[in-house]
Structure formats: C-alpha cells, structure tokens
Amino acid sequence: MRITGAVLERIGDPTPFVDSNPLVVSELELDPPGPHEVLVRMEAAGVCHSDLSVVDGNRRRPVPMLLGHEGAGIVEEVGAQVRTLRPGQRVVMTFLPRCEECSGCATQGIRPCVRGSASNERGALLDGGIRLRRGTETVHHHLGVSAFASHAVVDERSVVAVGDDVPAPVASLLGCAVLTGGGAVLNAARPKPGQRVCVVGLGGVGMAALLTALAVDGVEVIGVDGVDTKLRQAEKLGAAATYSPAEALEGDIRADIVIEAAGNARAFETAVQMTDAGGTTITVGLPAPDARSSISPLALVAGGRSIVGSYLGSAVPRRDVAIFADLWRDSRLPVEALVSDTIPLADINKAMDSLAAGQALRQIIDLEGLHA
C-alpha cells in the first residue's frame, strides 16, 4: 500500500535542521504484514531524544530510515499467525520488541531482548524482514516501529493493546517516555514511603519519572534541570522542590534515589554526587557512545551507594503498559502534562530543532491528518 512518512536521508546534518532538512516527508510503499506482524493506522507519535540521536549522529543507524518509535494507532490487519491482537484495537508501540525466548527476555526487563536489539541495529523487524520501499530503494525501520507515518507494519511483539478510553496522544507516550521514566521508578528504584526521590534531567522521560514518583504514596520528589521553565513545570506538577544542577551541588542536596534522565556525562556525575549514603543512582539517559564520566569509587564503597543502569525502564511492555494506563485512569499519572505541543508531520525538522534546543518535553505529531 502507498503511505506517507518522514524519512531520514542523512545522518549528522548541521543545525538548524529546518535548513539542512535531513528528514523528508515522502511517499513510500509498505508491504503487507508477515505471519507475526500487524498493519497499524497511525494516530499520534511523540518526538523523542532517541529520534534526535539518530538525526545528529549520536546513534548510527542505516539510512534511509523511516524515523519514529513512540506512537499509537489502530490495528487494521493482522498476519496469519497473530493470536494476541485483532483489527480495531488501539495499540501502543514499543521500541524494543521482546522475542520472549532469549536470555535477555528471561531477566524480566533487566536486560534487553537479544534478538530485538540485533534487529533494531539492522533497521529491520523482529523476524528480520523490511517492509518499506521507495521505488527500488529499501527504507529501513526505526527500532522496529517507524511511527512517523500514516501507517506502519510492525511485529506483534512490538505493540501492546490498550483500551479505547486511552486517547492516542496519551497512549503514544506510554510506549517510550512513560515506560522508560516511569519504569525506572517502579521497576528499578522501587521507592518506599519516607524516601526522597530526585530526577536529574526534566525532559519527556525525566518528567515521566517525576510524575510516576509523585504517584507513589509517602515519597518526597524533587527535580533538577538547567532550564528554568522545566523546573517551574515540575513544581506545578507537585515536586516538593526544584534546583539547577549548580544549586543542587552547592547546597549539598541529597536523595535516597536519584534518577538520571538527561543522557549526558555531567548529568550522570551530578546524579551520583546527589545520591545519599546507602542510596541508589538509576541511570536511564543515553549519552553519546564515547561519553565518559568521572566519579569517586571510594564514595561508592564508603557510603554504600549503588549505581543501576535501566534500559527502557527495566520494563516488560506487555506487563507494564497496563499498569501505567490504570494509573492514568485513576488520575494519578497525568500523562497529558508531558505534551508541550501538537504539530503536523510537515514540521518534523523544526521539531528536532526545538528538541535539540531543550525547548520541548514531548511534541506530539498528529497523524490523523494524513488519512483525510
């Protein structure tokens, strides 16, 4: 079938991207779903730093690639061997499919799926296929999803069904920002009443972590970021206090659990320094591959501190998406607060510039207009 999508043509173009135009909205051919795959009519997609990291070259991927990994839509067709989904269901896209058979999947979210990670690196779906073409040219999938499009074919293990009561913009954010940030809280940190939780880096993932921590009874939550508007928003959402990184370090602010969601080496160092004796640093940000941090091993040993890496919030999507959807239904997780703007697909390069400048939490691409 003929679809419309935002294709990344080149990696590492100069900013502003609105001038260099690395992403081009194109018409493509999308093959029908394979036996374990589904065709999804896309409704909404979030613009995430993991998209930007491919555009700016921090994450090398094969191009051309139809970008986007955080999205939601309606199942229109299922493959012959699909048993978990049916046409008409709203689904949340998740950027790491889980084969449910490998050593990574056996860890219940602690380690990534081995097969899913390998297929994501190749720009293919979980079973190895590529369903996108532009003329005679192969177009790769982004993290098994390629959400910046009118339609997507994905492996059934890359999506999770949610109820029709969950609006598409909210559903889209459950699959990345909330799974990653919120999962870091519920799966890796597991705060207890009386503890203080600090989130360093209040972008989409960090703010999702902050919102999830606020949903835990008896926990004090503070936020750290270098952008004043994000600090003010965190306070409006319920943070007990907020600080710039300099204020936090100069004031010797400490927490039992510190979640680093900025994805850079200095933020990680700040998070470790803010972790109180006996506490835990949870790092979920994805810095450049060559980034390095300097920390004191003695401070870890003498203070009994721990550092935990958490990929995709140590989540099992089929288990955890439902948990976050229920928190949203109970008005304990206001996911809508993460949406900073709603944009058309044509503005995708401008959206990358806004993200790179630290001006946005989550920009939601309204894909319904592509079906008119």
The pLDDT profile of the chain, 372 residues, written as one tens digit per residue, is 999 999 999 999 999 999 999 999 999 999 999 999 999 999 999 999 999 999 999 888 999 999 999 999 999 999 999 999 999 999 999 999 999 999 999 999 999 999 999 999 999 999 999 999 999 999 999 999 999 999 999 999 999 999 999 999 999 999 999 999 999 999 999 999 999 999 999 999 999 999 999 999 999 999 999 999 999 999 999 999 999 999 999 999 999 999 999 999 999 999 999 999 999 999 999 888 899 999 999 999 999 999 999 999 999 999 999 999 999 999 999 999 999 999 999 999 999 999 999 888 899 999 998 986
pTM summary value = 0.95
State the pairing for strand pair 2-8/196-200.
unpaired
Can you name the residues that pair with 3 across neighbouring β-strands?
28
CA distance 361 to 340: 6
> Contact at 8 Å (CB) between 47 and 352?
yes
Sequence-distant (≥ 6) Cβ neighbours of residue 19 within 8 angstroms: none
Give the helix ranges, DSSP H, for the chain. Answer: 17-20, 49-55, 114-122, 168-173, 183, 204-214, 228-237, 245-250, 265-274, 297-303, 317-329, 348-356
CA distance 68 to 47: 7
Assign 6 to helix, strand or coil: strand
Question: Could you tell me the domains of the chain?
Answer: 2-164+334-371 (3.90.180.10), 180-311 (3.40.50.720)
Distances (CA, A) of 325 to 156, 178, 223, 251, 360: 19, 10, 24, 37, 23
CA distance 368 to 41: 9
